[in-house]
Amino acid sequence: MIYVAEYTNGQLRLPKVYRSFACGGKSYTVMQYVEGECLNSAPWVSRDPEQRASIIRQAADAILVLRSLRGKTPGPIESGSPIGGLFSIYGANKMFSDCREMEKWLDQKLKLRGGGSLKGRFDTLVMCHMDIALRNMKLDGRGQLWFLDWAWSGFYPPEFEIASLHHKEPGNFDYEFSQALLQELGSAETDEVLTLLLTVYEVNDGPYVGSHLLES
C-alpha cells in the first residue's frame, strides 16, 4: 500500500499506512479510516446509473494506473509467497524467481483439469490488486473511490487482474459490477490464456485446492 501510494502520485486513493507490526505470530497494519460507504452495502443494480458509471470509470482508471507500475519478479512487493485466487487460500507455498517458474507452477494445476499450458505466455509484470470487489471499495462523500484490502496484491501479468474479474459467475454479488468493469476495460471476451487461468481458479475452488502443498 505504501509502494502504490508513493509511485502513483495520488492517482489512486487508498488508506494511508501508519504502522505495521507482528505480535503473537500474527501481522497487523494500522491505517487511515476512510469515511464513506462500502460498496457491498447495496446490490450493484440498485444503484443510480450515473453513480454506477462513475464507479466503473474510476475502477478502470485505477487498474490502468496500476499497470504503469512494472516489476521484475512475480509475487508480493519485497518478495514472498503469492496468495489469492490463482494461488489458493493457502498461498503458492513458494516464491517465484521469474515468470517461467510461475508458469510451471500454474501448469501443474492445469494437469488436474485435463491439461493445457501457460508456458511462455507471460513476460510483463504489472502491479495488480487481485481482489477488486465491491466489499473492498469505499465511496467517500465526494463520490471518490477508495481501494481497500491489498493482501493479494503484487506484480503479476495484467491478465491475472482480468481473470480475477472474469472469475465472478452469475449469481455472485459482484457479477454485474465485474461485467461492467470488464466492458469498460475492453476485456469482456475471454481468450485462450484467460480460459486457462480460469481453469486454475476452478482447481483452487474445488477439492484439489491444496494439491501443491501435498506435492511439497
Domain boundaries, the chain: 38-215
What CATH code would you report for 38-215?
3.90.1200
Q: 165 near 63, Cβ under 8 Å? A: no
Q: What is the pTM of this model?
A: 0.95
207-216: pLDDT as tens digits: 989 989 876 5
39-59: pLDDT as tens digits: 999 999 999 999 999 999 999
Provide the percentage of residues in the chain whose pLDDT is more than 90. 93
103-153: pLDDT as tens digits: 999 999 999 998 899 999 999 999 999 999 999 999 999 999 999 999 999
- Tell me the three cell numbers of residue 55: 464507479
Look at residues 196, 172, 202 and name the one whose alpha carbon lies nearest to residue 122: 196
